[in-house]
């Protein structure tokens, strides 16, 4: 296969490049080295700091603000792999072939910082190519598709030095490369700032949602209701007419692996833990179904409440309310308590009560066990006191929370769509610029920087 034929196969976008742009191999304009400097400190070697895989994968720029790992290296390794401003560092392996050759640009002089193992050091020959332009080029997933095609592996995929060196790159005139990089620096910074602002909006909405739930299940809906002291560590006062009761008197506590076994003619679906989230209900559309399941499972009933018992689940707010499950659904995890509400409390109300972050924080403070293995004990949960309103009031509160939650989730969805739109636009903008579909002028650069300043 000729160079032109292989280029068309690996990088079909090269056929639509502007006529004044060239196509060449990466090694025609840059040196490519694979580092062999590992994370060990060996006696007799010189102390260095390493820029490692995670530093590159999580950052688009390599600066002195990163916390580099301390290690050691021989003088010849220091001379060879000392990073320099304008260098690209790229990941050369990954668990997925389409998540490879992620690059970051070295923007500062960092004496004593070497390119670490699992990385490729790409050093541009600056009379031919701009380091920032090459970095933005590697931000284009369409460009990186040629790396994906050459990645080899089964559980982990890797690239050879040849795969990097033979990568086809578009090569506009050097001044245009510099304009493209400057334009993308400013434009993508503005997009990133907008995305960050959207994420802050999500955080604010989520905090408001949680506080709304907490206020409703602990104070009710009547702002003028007479209050009384709650005498609880986590709650100061409650409506005067609410009744105190321990959880063991409100719900049956069924530890996992203790429920009945499905009968031979039942079809049982195991619910994996990752489906239990702050959503409050479980998406059962993609669950796998098993027949002839052995005993020892807790079989769900509509109205059950799942409460996290181990540290990671508590911190992540994991939990669920079992709602309208068909057939026989079983729970086979030791990481949750299963609460089966009695007649005095509605299951949805109990879910909201135990879901609210103030109650979860109180439960987390009372976890027992060794560090890293702490759990919410069955005894603690059974003996914990709650104040609950009469059932009709519980239903009013549920209706209120449901209506509010619907509005919150609508706002969440709108913001998430906006984030997805901005993210998609960023990707398309990068590809259009680095492949010449959008030609960048000095006026474009000036306007992009003005827009960034306005932010």
Which pLDDT value is given to residue 180? 98
Alpha helices by DSSP H, listed for 11-160, are 53-57, 75-81, 131-138, 141-150
pLDDT average per 10 residues of sequence, the chain (455 residues): 77 92 95 92 92 96 96 94 96 92 96 94 93 96 94 93 95 97 96 97 93 93 94 92 93 60 44 40 42 51 76 55 55 68 88 85 83 80 92 95 91 96 97 96 94 56
The two tokens of residue 416 are: 């998430």
Asked if residue 405 is part of any domain, the answer here is: no
Asked if residue 177 is part of any domain, the answer here is: no
Q: 150 and 7: one domain?
A: yes
With tokens 């039942």, the residue in question is 266
Of 150, 171, 192, the position where a domain reaches its end is: 171
Of 171, 196, 220, the position where a domain reaches its end is: 171
Q: 25 and 131: one domain?
A: yes
Asked if residue 215 is part of any domain, the answer here is: no
Regarding beta strands 103-106 and 88-91, do their DSSP bridges make them parallel or antiparallel, or are they unpaired? antiparallel
Q: Which class for 430: exposed (0-12), middle (13-18), buried (19 or more C-beta within 10 A)?
A: buried
| Other residues' Cβ atoms within 10 Å of the Cβ of residue 378 | 14
Which pLDDT value is given to residue 288? 40
Asked if residue 315 is part of any domain, the answer here is: yes
| Other residues' Cβ atoms within 10 Å of the Cβ of residue 141 | 13
DSSP state of 368: B
The two tokens of residue 230 are: 């709650």
Asked if residue 188 is part of any domain, the answer here is: no
- The CA-CA-CA angle for residues 105, 73, 135, to 5°, reads 10
Helices 174-219, 131-138: crossing angle, 10 deg rounding: 50
Q: 16 and 117: one domain?
A: yes
**Distance of CA 323 to CAs 252, 299, 345, Å?**
17, 13, 16
Asked if residue 76 is part of any domain, the answer here is: yes
The two tokens of residue 251 are: 């719900």
The two tokens of residue 347 are: 């299951």
Length of the chain measured in residues: 455
The two tokens of residue 311 are: 């540290």
Which pLDDT value is given to residue 371? 66
Which pLDDT value is given to residue 372? 65
Q: 256 and 165: one domain?
A: no
Q: 126 and 261: one domain?
A: no
Whether residue 249 contacts residue 237, with contact meaning beta carbons closer than 8 Å, is answered with no
Q: 154 and 12: one domain?
A: yes
Q: What CATH number does the domain containing 61 carry?
A: 3.90.220.20
Query: What residue numbers bound the domain in which 288 lies?
Result: 243-388
Q: 54 and 165: one domain?
A: yes
The pTM of the whole model exceeds 0.85? no
Asked if residue 428 is part of any domain, the answer here is: no
Q: 167 and 268: one domain?
A: no
User: To which H or E segment does residue 363 belong?
Assistant: helix 357-365
Q: 383 and 250: one domain?
A: yes
| Cα 427 versus chain centre, distance | 18
With tokens 């668990």, the residue in question is 95
Q: 252 and 167: one domain?
A: no
Asked if residue 224 is part of any domain, the answer here is: no
Q: 157 and 254: one domain?
A: no
Q: 153 and 251: one domain?
A: no
DSSP state of 275: G
The total of structural domains in the chain comes to 2
Of 388, 422, 441, the position where a domain reaches its end is: 388
């Amino acid at each position: 296969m000729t160079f032109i034929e292989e280029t068309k196969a690996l990088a079909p976008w090269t056929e639509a490049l502007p006529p004044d742009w060239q196509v060449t191999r990466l090694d025609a304009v840059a040196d490519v080295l694979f580092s062999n400097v590992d994370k060990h400190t060996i006696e007799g070697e010189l102390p260095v700091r390493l820029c490692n895989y995670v530093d590159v994968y999580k950052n688009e720029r390599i600066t002195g603000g990163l916390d580099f790992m301390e290690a050691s290296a021989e003088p010849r390794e220091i001379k060879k792999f000392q990073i320099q401003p304008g260098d690209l560092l790229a990941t050369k392996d990954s668990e997925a072939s389409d998540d490879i050759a992620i690059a970051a640009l070295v923007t500062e002089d960092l004496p004593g910082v070497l390119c670490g193992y699992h990385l490729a050091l790409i050093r541009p020959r600056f009379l031919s190519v701009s380091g920032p332009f090459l970095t933005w080029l590697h931000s284009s997933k369409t460009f990186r598709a040629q790396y994906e095609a050459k990645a080899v592996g089964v559980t982990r995929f890797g690239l050879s030095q040849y795969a990097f060196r033979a990568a086809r790159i578009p090569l506009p005139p050097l001044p245009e490369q510099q304009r493209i990089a400057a334009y993308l620096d400013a434009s993508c910074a503005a997009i990133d700032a907008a995305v960050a602002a959207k994420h802050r909006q999500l955080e604010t909405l989520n905090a408001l949602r949680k506080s709304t739930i907490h206020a409703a299940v602990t104070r009710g809906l009547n702002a003028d209701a007479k209050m009384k002291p709650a005498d609880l560590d986590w709650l100061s006062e409650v409506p005067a007419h609410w009744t105190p009761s321990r959880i063991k008197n409100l719900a049956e506590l069924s530890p996992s692996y203790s429920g009945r076994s499905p009968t031979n003619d039942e079809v049982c679906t195991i619910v994996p833990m990752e489906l239990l989230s702050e959503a409050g209900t479980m998406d059962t559309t993609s669950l796998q179904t098993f027949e002839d399941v052995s005993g020892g499972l807790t079989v769900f009933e509509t109205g059950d409440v799942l409460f996290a018992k181990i540290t990671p689940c508590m911190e992540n707010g994991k939990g669920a309310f079992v709602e309208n499950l068909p057939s026989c659904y079983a729970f086979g995890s030791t990481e949750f308590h299963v609460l089966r509400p009695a007649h005095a409390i509605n299951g949805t109300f109990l879910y909201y009560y135990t879901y609210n972050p103030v109650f979860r924080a109180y439960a987390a403070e009372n976890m027992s066990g060794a560090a890293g293995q702490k759990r919410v004990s069955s005894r603690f949960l059974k003996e914990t006191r709650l104040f609950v309103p009469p059932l009709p009031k519980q239903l009013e509160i549920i209706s209120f929370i449901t209506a509010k939650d619907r509005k919150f989730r609508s706002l969440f969805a709108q913001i998430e769509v906006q984030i997805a739109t901005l993210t998609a636009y960023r990707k398309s903008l990068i590809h259009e610029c680095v492949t010449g579909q959008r030609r960048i002028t000095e006026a474009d650069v000036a306007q992009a920087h003005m827009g960034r300043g306005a932010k």
